[in-house]
Every structure is written in C-alpha cells, then in structure tokens.
Chain A
Amino acid sequence: MATETPTLRRTPLYERHVALGAKIVPFAGYEMPIQYEGIVAEHRAVRGRAGLFDLSHMGEFFFTGTGARGALDRLVSSDVAGLASGQARYGLLCNERGTIVDDVIVYRTGEAEYMIVVNAANIAKDRAHLLHHLTDDVTFDDRSTGTALVAVQGPRAAGILATTTKDAVGSLPSFGVTPARIAGVKGTVARTGYTGEDGFEVFVASADAEQVWDALLAAGLEAGIMPIGLGARDTLRLEARFSLYGNEIDETTDPIEAGLGWTCKLDKEFIGRDQIGAKKAQGPTRKVAGLVVDGGVARHGHEVTSAGEVVGRVTSGTYGPTVDKNIALAYVPTALSKVGTALAVRIRGKDVPATVVKTPFYRRPE
C-alpha cells in the first residue's frame, strides 16, 4: 500500500532565498523564508527604506464573464460592485452564519475581469466556497500555482519600482491596479500591501519570478532595500493592526467583533449579511483590543485577565520594533475594551500588566 507523505512546496523564488541566507520554515504548506538578516533589521528596513517580499504562496483566483461582478459582489462583504476598472478593495468572504471564511483583496483588472488574492492556507477551502456559489455566467480560474507575487514595500518602494519599468506606476493611487511591464516582464502591479507603508504588489508568471525579484533587489540596492521574511511581515502587519487569518479572524469570529465592520456593506446582498447586520445592531459581546504589555511578550493563545479572572485571549503578540513596545491584539469583553483599561496577560503563570491602547499601534508619517 502506497502512503503519501505530505511534501512541502516551494515558490519559484526558493533558490533565491537559500542563496540570500534565509532561514526556511514550513508555512501554509510551503517552505518559506522566515528571516534573512534578522526580524528587527528587516522590519526597520521596510519602515525606513524598502523591503522585498516573496508572497508567491498566496492564492490568486481569476473571474471573467458577464456574471463576475454580480457574483463577487454577493461573495465579498465590501462594495465590489462599486469598483471601477483599475481599482482594488479589501473585503471578507463570509459564510451563512456570518463568520469569516477568509479575508481577501478584490482587484478589478478589466471590464469583466476580476482577480482575488487569498491566504495560502485557505486556497482549497476558498476555492470550494467560491465554486459552490458561482453561476454559469462566470468563468473561474485558480492560477495560484502559476502566479508569483513579489511585494516591494516602504517609503522608497515607488522610486525603486519606477526604475524597473517604463509604465507610470508612481502615479497609481492607493489600491489602484494596472497592467505593467516590470523588468521586461508582463505583469500586474497594484498599490497594495500588508505593512502599513506605501508599497506595491507585483503579480507575474512563476517562470518570470526570478527575473523580477533580481531586478527589484538590484534596483533597490542603493536605496537600502532588504529581502524580508515572514517574521518581519508579521511584526509589520501587527504594528499596523492588520488582521491575520487564523489569529484575529477565522470561522468562529464575525466581522463586527473583529473590528472589520467597515468592510461590510450592509445595504447590499452578500453571504452572511443578515447575521452580521443583526450582530451589529445588538452590539458585540467581545472585541479585538490593542494591548501594550509591560514586562513580558504576549503571544497567540495567552490568556487575558482582569483582577485575576480570565476574560479573554491574545490573538497575536510580539515586540513591535518601531513602537519599541510589547504589543498584542486580544479578544476581550466589550466592557473591558475601552482605551486606558488596565488588564493583564498571563505569561508563564504570571499576570503581566497590560493596557488597552488605541490602534493602529503605528501609523506612517504623512
């Protein structure tokens, strides 16, 4: 009897990561770089200069046909129908219970052409969810394997990207998307990201990934670009208070308590709308709160306490290199979610003081 051992997949840039001295870890079924130089150095590079990310593990789904707009508007919580060609928007895939299947970005790349980018760990689940709800007038194409995604993020990202293309990517507005030729390669460029900085995401065929990666790294050399691993990707997104699927959001959480009510256009029809609307009307019993922890590092899964009683749980926690504080996100009762509330995080059996603070922890200077 043949048994299959689950093998980890590699992105088309795996050899580059190894050559750059990355530490490689398994992540969402892929062998991914967690760090090259070090998380703090990489984090600072993105905040102060620029960083280059391989996000080719993420999923890209394409939708075409006369029914694409209507179908996606019903599947995604945000105003997809309102997207003009060349615009992108963040939104959620929800189920009939009004909880979160995934968080996605929807890109309208043509008159009747859309791309959505989904979390790597959710590719199979999302595909099933989407296919279940699609009608005959939509053509669905999962190009996750054949598509590479390279992100260049940071205050110097626009200048670096501009030197690799004749297309006017610098004039792309935030959440704009356009076809472009990068380093001689045909692709799609969007002004989107997950770091709290200005930046771009570049989608190209997997076969062209190395050419684009090499060109961006070379173009950014003088500007101090660094390759960035998943470790700094996490500290960057947490400082900017972006939700991570599997931490702040999953199928047991709803958009209102997760602080993602702003992504739900409740005056349109979408899957989960009624349940989310009801939740909003009655008010959530718990909420994601931002914490600053004084005297320890909170981690995913740690208990949050108030006067010795367990009242919640940390969803993400780390040291934030830019804010220079130990920061965390946690589900806490709504009554204990107000800014200034004194709580504690139970770290190795000790209740370490924590204060509810305003989020995002970090906002980029204008």
Chain B
Amino acid sequence: MSTVPDDLRYSKEHEWVRADGDVATIGITHFAQEQLGDVVFVELPEKGSTVRQFSSLGVVESVKAASDIYAPLSGEVIERNVKVIEKPELVNTEPYGNGWMIKVRLADKGELNQLLSPSDYRSHIGETAGAGGD
C-alpha cells in the first residue's frame, strides 16, 4: 500500500478524496492514522446532512485523544461507513480502503482545485518527492 496513493487528492488537515463524477469518497490519510495511533471511536455525520469545505465533519478518537475530521469538500452526505463506526481500527489498518468515512455529493466540483496533489501532500508531510511506496 502506498502511503500517499497517486489517484487521490488531499487536504492539509490530512483527509483524502477519491472523486468519481459528482460523488467523492472521503477518509483520513495513512499519515494521519499513524499520528493518531490506535483509533477506537469514529463519529460521522448522518446521511442526508450537509458538510462544508474545511469545516469539521466528525471526530476520530484514538486511545490518547480526540481529533476533528475536516470536510475537504462541500456537499450532501449520501453514505456513511457503518463498518468503520463498528470497527474503528479499520482507520489504522485500511485508511484508503475499508477505513473510508463518508461519501458526499459534491456541491461544487471547483473545490477540488483547492486540494493538494499527491506530490504536494507528500511535501506537506515532509516526505521527499516520489517516495510514495512502502
């Protein structure tokens, strides 16, 4: 698994976005889960609610502390990952897979341009460019 997959976009607050048409899947990055440590609780918005870009959408709690998750994009929540609520450790084990958080119907696709590319995110977290694989 790459720690910063090339097919995603990223926020400075360590969320990732997989855009597919006007639907985006959102989660937190490998770097974020590593910083948090063992995730034991995830709080996500209800289906049908709306989230606003760069506002808090929910919370992840590790053994040690609670951290906000920020919405990288605005839109309506069309699905939330029930599996990750039941098994919060998926955030640690599969941050880009079964550890995803919510799916959002995008309000403004233009917002995608405000997110970081994989290489920009790599330098944001202090990884040298191109050091994507592990």
Contacts and interface: CB of A to CB of B under 8 A. Distances in A.
Interface of A: 34-35, 38-41, 231, 235, 296-297, 299, 318-319, 321, 326, 348
Interface residues of B, number: 12
Interface in B34-81: 37-38, 40-41, 43, 59, 61-66
Contacts of B37: 35, 38-39, 231
A231 B63 contact: yes
B79 to A, nearest CB: 21
B33 to A, nearest CB: 11
A297 B65 CA distance: 9
B63 A39 contact: yes
A235 B63 CA distance: 8
B63 A40 contact: yes
Given A296-B43, A297-B66, A299-B66, A39 B38 contact: yes
Nearest to A350: B43
10 contacts: A34-B64, A35-B37, A39-B37, A39-B64, A231-B37, A231-B63, A297-B40, A297-B41, A299-B66, A319-B61
A-B complex: 9 closest residue pairs judged by Cβ atoms = A319-B40, A40-B38, A39-B63, A297-B61, A297-B41, A319-B63, A38-B38, A39-B38, A38-B37
Contacts of B64: 34, 39, 231, 318
A296 B41 contact: yes
Contacts of B40: 297, 319, 326
A326 B59 CA distance: 16
Nearest to B92: A38
A294 to B, nearest CB: 11
Nearest to A43: B63
